[in-house]
Amino acid sequence: MTTPAVNGKQVPAAQKLASEVLSGEAMVVCPKCKAIQSVFINDGMLMPTRKFQQRGNAIYHDCGSKLPCRIYRDW
């Protein structure tokens, strides 16, 4: 399986989904505390929320998890 290159760097397969999302609603699940929330993504950027933040192409929960959240979408 190949992964796309961004700025000359390989993007891990787990982050590939986040980089493909353009606009719409998605569900994110924290791998540490199992928090689930629907979020809105516009042009690949997470719309502001209180508990989730975007770093690069990944979305992280504020519980202290070092792993990015799983992103589920239906479009």
| Torsion-angle region of 66 (φ positive above 0: left; ψ -120 to 50: alpha; else: beta) | alpha
What value does the mean pLDDT take over residues 3-14? 50
d(CA 5, CA 2): 9
Q: 41 exposed, middle or buried (CB, 10 Å; 0-12, 13-18, 19+)?
A: buried
Give percent of the chain with pLDDT exceeding 90: 61
Q: Is the dihedral of CA 27, 29, 35, 40 positive or negative?
A: negative
CB 46 within 8 A of CB 18: no
* Predicted local distance difference test score (pLDDT) of residue 75: 59
pTM of the model: 0.67
pLDDT in tens, 14-38: 455 555 547 899 999 999 999 999 9
What value does the mean pLDDT take over residues 45-60? 94
22 vs 45 pLDDT, higher one: 45
